[in-house]
Amino acid sequence: MNIWEIHSVWFLLGCAIFPRITLLFFSFTPFGWLAWIGWLFTPHLLVAFLSLSFWSENPVLVILAWILALAGTGGEARAAYR
C-alpha cells in the first residue's frame, strides 16, 4: 500500500504544519489512550510514529517526517520556555 493511494499532498502538508487539527478532523484511525497522550503533548512525534508503517514504500517521506517531528517538537518547547 502506497501512502499516495491513501492520502493527498494536502493531508501530508497539514500533518507537517498543523498536526493537531489535521489528526483530529482528518484521521480515520481509531486512537487509543497512548495516541491521545501523543496528540496532546507531542503531535509531531505522533505523526512520525504513524509514518513508520510506510517505511518500505517511501523511506524518504518517513525520514522527512522524523526530521520535521524533532524540529517541530523542539521549536515548540523553546517557544513555550520563553
Q: Tell me: the pLDDT tens digits for 42-65?
A: 788 878 887 888 888 888 888 988
pLDDT tens digits for 26-37?
A: 766 666 777 777
Residue 25 neighbours by CB under 8 Å, 6+ apart: none
pLDDT tens digits for 13-26?
A: 787 778 888 777 77
**Can you tell me the distance from the alpha carbon of 21 to that of 81, in angstroms, rounded to the nearest whole number?**
23
Q: What mean pLDDT do residues 4-18 have? A: 78
pLDDT at position 6 over 70? yes
45: its cell numbers? 512525534
Q: What is the pLDDT of residue 63?
A: 92
Q: Please state the length of the chain.
A: 82
